[in-house]
Every structure is written in C-alpha cells, then in structure tokens.
Amino acid sequence: MKKLLVIATLFGVVTLAQAGVSISSASFQEQIKVNENGERVKEWVKTSKVVPGTIIRYINRLYNDGKVSATNLVINNPIPKNMEYVANSASCQDGCSISYSVDGGKTFKEPMELFLGVGENRHLARASEYTDIRWVVSRLDANMQSSVEYKARLK
C-alpha cells in the first residue's frame, strides 16, 4: 500500500481538524477501447492487471469538509518501488508548487537542481530516478476539493 504524508499549515490557531482536510488516493491504467463509431479511444480505468511497461496514473483527492480554509498543504508522495516517474506528468488541479526528491524524500528540489553521483559520475537526475514528489497546495477553501496527480511506469 502506498504511504502518503499530508501536512497542513493553517492561519492562526486553527487546527487541521477544524479545517477538516482529508485525502483519498486511487490508481488508474490506460485502456484502449473502440467507441460506437469504431474509433480507438484511450480511457483511464481502475488499476487491475499491470504488466511491465504499463503507465499508472495516481490521483490524490483532497477534501476540506471544515469551516475554514487550509493553506500550504504539503503532500509528499513516494513513487512506488518497481515504478519510474513519467517526466512532466505531475500536476495539480489548483495553484500549487511541485518539487522532487532523489534521496527517498529527505530533500526536495526543482528538476534542474537534482543531481546524483559524484565526480565524473555526477549527472542531472533523470525523471526515472526520482523517488518522491511533493506538492504544496497554496489554498483549499472550506467545503472544497482539489487533486494532485502523477504518472509512473512499471519497470
């Protein structure tokens, strides 16, 4: 099961419980279907049998059932073992910043600041070498929802 960490910083003395923020996660895989016009169309369906090379779409839905806005929600999402992040696939529904880790979530940086190796072996990290993704959602108003997502390929 995927481990996910959500941290929230709220205005004043409001607690996370008062903001009522919760999260749910789901994974989907692309499936090709033929529509009524005989055309092949791509569709995202719940993950079932996954074989190497399959791209999985991970979606984390954020809900604020509380009475106050939550700000600077931090969502840390490890990329599952045996999966590799698909470059430029991380996104969010509303305003957020996205950073990545190559050290198991100890530090997060922008892609152009991520390096692996030392000396002559030092190189700019490839997307497939990312270990974690972090989204910082700037604001989630009361009684609203939002989402963050990314894609990864089974090795």
Pairing verdict, β 144-154 and 115-116: unpaired
Q: What pLDDT does 4 receive?
A: 52
Average pLDDT for 26-42: 89
**Tokens at 112, concatenated:** 């152009």
Q: What pLDDT does 94 receive?
A: 81
Q: What pLDDT does 63 receive?
A: 93
Task: Give Cα separations from 68 to 13, 64, 90, 105 (angstroms).
Answer: 11, 8, 27, 29
Q: What pLDDT does 16 receive?
A: 46
Q: How many Cα atoms within 13 Å fall on the side-chain side of residue 132?
A: 20
Q: What pLDDT does 123 receive?
A: 96
Whole-angstrom Cα Rg for the chain: 18
Average pLDDT for 73-97: 93
DSSP-based three-state secondary structure for 19:
helix
Options 2.40.340.10, 3.20.20.70, 2.30.130.10, 2.60.40.1170; CATH for 5-154 is: 2.60.40.1170
